[in-house]
Structure 1
Amino acid sequence: MKSFIALLKKRETYIGIGAALLFQLIFFTVWLTAYDGVYERSEQLSIAIVNEDPLQGKELTTLLKKNIPFQIETGENTDQALKKLDKRELDMVIYIPKDFSQTLMSDEKAQLIYYINQANPSLSKQMMEATSKEITVTINQKLAQLKYTTLKEEIAKTLTQSPNPELAIQISENILDEVNPLSLADPITGKVVQTNAKEGFHVTMIPLMVVLASFIGAMVMSQYLQVTATQLITQFGKWTLFLSRQFLNVIVAISLSFLTIGLLIIFNIELEEGLLAVCLFQSVLFFSFLTLSQLFVILFGNSGMVFNIIATATQLVASGAIVPRSMLSSFYQKLGDFLPATYGVNGYFSLIYGGGQLLHDSMRLLLLIGTFICITVVGILFKKNYQIDSSI
């Protein structure tokens, strides 16, 4: 009992309890507000329709626009649409072949082709695959109804030429009773082409896992480096410590990238980019997390941990690793533009699956690094008392 009371007398005990409570409060608040109304915003997903059929292609495109609850793009050729899909600017491309109408008129099954980029969050891929099936069923129902109507009109024409109209009407009614639109064979089939495909569900979790592990590691490292810097502040100047800290951050970031590559190789994860590209990108990503997490603890001391917890929850949501960013509210979409995890997730989708804009994501990370360091420098410059409480 004495030991229990002794624990309660220590300030660090309440800091730990408070941290546990804050994690719950912050994650509940951020995640539930961010994911509220996600399915209602599914209309923000984008699909391109590429039509090469000169006969009925326009009518089919119009039909698709009426039945697809997403943003629709038209007017692009196949290469343009697939390039945008590869850059993850589109969620799916629907391709209408040039012989689509001719195949239908020859009583053969025509084919609609759906291109779905696998280098996307699982939710987006699942929704696109479900949509492709629904589109195929809808078009088949429309075409079956059209065939039924045509059959009915042809029978009506035949009746006018019959010597016994009453008997012909009775026969035609019996035929129409037996034949209904749903019993007619499906005139089209849907083919799903998965671009940048990889086998194994575990591969889809790599962007989220690497980003989460990297930021948590950076956050803990920054917290302890701040304690060390506080203990050394009387021996060295604050700028000397700051520069030494950045040098150490660079060394750790580069070293960690080799560990990341080693783990990817051990677990047989195939990469679409070379090892050097993975090494450089992971180094830049981890360094960006270090500059962000150290910003809060340098400027606010141990209280900066609260901001790092908020940054953890926010980055997991806004990065697009779990739910496509286009399905988030505009607030979280814009917030994600200023957080490293967004470009970390995009970058790892490119490294693992291919496609994307790896160079663009790397440059944005470098820009964020420069921004975070500048803010930290200004904060240190105006901070009157750089030495803070060294307790965790």
Structure 2
Amino acid sequence: MNAVIAAFRGFFKLLPTKVGLTFAFVLPLLFSVVWMTGYNGATERLGQLKVGIVNEEGEAGAAIEQAVRNAMPFEIASYGSLQEAQRQLNDGDADMIVSIPATFSADAQSGQGELTFYLNKTSAETANAILSASAERISSSLGQSQYGDSPRERIAANVVTLNDKSNFATSMLPMILGFITYVAVMTMNIQFNIASMMLGRCHGKWQIFWARQLIYVLVAALASLLTSGVAMLFVDPVASFGQMWGFHALVYAAAICLTQMTFALFGGLAALVNTGLIPFQLMTAGNIVPAAMLAPAYRHLGGFLPASNGVQGFFRLIYSGASVGPMAIHLMLIAVVAWGITVSRLALTKPKPQPVAQPAPSH
């Protein structure tokens, strides 16, 4: 029994034990605090969702357009054509489009009035569910307010989801390529940090640094090539293989540079810091709840994190083929800034003095 107690005490004298216990206590608390504060009141921020209206009936449809505006608790914008509105929807600048057809008034008088509501499969699941439910409710209320209870003069809701794909596995791919990449790189850099400390006994800090950068370049190029290639065996994305591979390489580069920077700044605590970024990235990825519905402090945080940009970009590449330029720019900035901070920190670090070899005693 005494030996067990001695071993028990010995555990608490070791740094890995303390780090492990910190993970066990801090990480669940961090997830709880971040998600409970970030998602708190999300459904009360429906006014942050953007809905576009296309009135193809002109002046004759002005009354119904105004009625649609009054019935919706969302931010409303008008578009001149359905093509322009759908482009805004694909680019993420609108969450839903309401189309008033050119023959709406005549159709309504004959009992065939219909409003078409366009959603985007790449938008957040929660937003699409809320908007889809509101489409039916709004159409019904408009029919009663405009035409009373006449059964011949009701307004139907036609909900169309753009960029829809029937294979459920496809919806998992953005998380695999965007988020799991970060987890893989984070784990890799934990091991690389240990390897660097071992090599520090016989190599200089810059030799080790540049050797790591060479490995990173190979990882970003080859791992993204392999993963993107395997992914395309199972799904048929709108984007080309080159686009998928190139964007995935950027996600790798940003994740590598960010996790490398934390080790340069925080040393052994970097593993906790990198893991602590996970709840922020999952929340701001926008695939469950749109960033606009998050608490104000979290809305723009995703632009500074690799996995958030990765998930958003892959949704576009896989489903709509819309431009991923903003996400690509964010990823490049993350990589460049984080890499620059790492180099600066390394330059300011003084090398540890090497022990002086003692001369062998003479006989």
User: TM-score with structure 2 length normalisation?
Assistant: 0.90
What aligned pairs does 1:228-377 form with structure 2 within 5 A after superposition? Answer: 228-266=195-233, 268-377=234-343
- Deviation per CA, 1:342-379: give whole Å up to 9, x if none: 22012111221024322332232112111110111111
**Are 1:96 and 1:113, in contact at CA under 8 Å, matched by a contact in 2?**
yes
Query: Structure 1: where are the runs of 5+ without partners?
Result: 146-180, 388-392
Contact kept? 1:208, 1:322, Cα under 8 Å: no
Structure 1 position 205 matched with structure 2 position 172: yes
Deviates more, 1:187-196 or 1:37-46: 187-196
Q: Structure 2 CA distance, aligned partners of 1:383 and 1:115?
A: 56
Aligned partner of 2:65 among 55, 61, 65: 61
The 5 Å alignment of 1:1-392 reads 2=3, 5-6=6-7, 8-10=9-11, 11=14, 12-105=16-109, 107-145=110-148, 181=149, 184-266=151-233, 268-384=234-350
Contact 1:87 1:355 (C-alpha < 8 Å) held by counterparts = no
Would the aligned equivalents of 1:238 and 1:386 in 2 still touch at CA under 8 Å? no
Is residue 111–residue 153 contact of structure 2 (8 Å, CA) maintained in 1? Answer: no
Equivalent-residue separation in structure 2 for 1:93 and 1:386 (angstroms): 62
Structure 1: distance between partners of 2:181 and 2:5: 35
Query: Does the 8 A contact of 2:50 with 2:76 survive in 1?
Result: yes
In the superposition, relative to structure 1, how do residues 271 and 362 fare at CA in structure 2: closer, same or farther (>3 Å)? same
| Distance of aligned partners of 1:89 and 1:8 in 2 relative to their CA distance in 1, 3 Å threshold | farther
The verdict on how the C-alpha distance between 1:75 and 1:83 changes in structure 2, with shifts beyond 3 A counting, is closer
Please tell me whether the aligned partners of residues 349 and 356 of structure 1 are also in contact (alpha carbons under 8 angstroms). no
Q: How many residues align?
A: 349
Instruction: Give how far 1:89 is off.
Output: 0.8
Deviation at 1:47, TM superposition (A): 0.2
Gapped regions of structure 2 (runs ≥ 5): 354-363
Per the alignment, do residues 386 and 207 of structure 1 end up closer, same or farther by CA in structure 2, a change over 3 Å counting? farther
How high is the sequence identity, in percent, across the aligned residues?
28
Conserved in 1, the CA contact under 8 Å of 2:53 and 2:77?
A: yes
Distance 2:9 2:187 in 1: 24
Indicate how the Cα distance of structure 1 residues 336 and 265 shifts in structure 2: closer, same or farther if over 3 A, else same.
closer
Taking a change above 3 Å as real, the CA distance of residues 386 and 49 of structure 1, as seen in their structure-2 partners, is farther
Distance 1:385 1:327, change over 3 A: farther
CA 1:132–1:188: 2 relative to 1, 3 Å: same
3-state secondary structure, aligned to 2:47: helix
The alignment partner of 2:166 has SS state of coil
User: Residues 127, 5 of structure 1: CA spacing in aligned structure 2 closer, same or farther, 3 A cutoff?
Assistant: farther
Q: Which amino acid aligns with 1:134?
A: R
CA shift, 1:23, in A, is: 1.3
State the superposition RMSD in angstroms: 2.0
* d(CA) in 2 for partners of 1:139, 1:117: 24
Q: Distance in 1 between matches of 2:271 and 2:340?
A: 20
Distance of 1:217 and 1:29 partners within structure 2: 25
| Greater shift in the superposed pair: 235-244 or 31-40 | 235-244
**Contact conserved, 1:110 with 1:189, CA < 8 A, in 2?**
yes
Q: Is the 8 A contact 1:88 1:356 kept in 2?
A: no
Check conservation: 1:299, 1:380, Cα contact below 8 A: no
Give CA-to-partner distance per residue, 1:217-260, whole Å, 9 cap, x none: 11111111111111112322212211211111111122221332
CA contact (8 A) 1:295 1:375 kept: yes
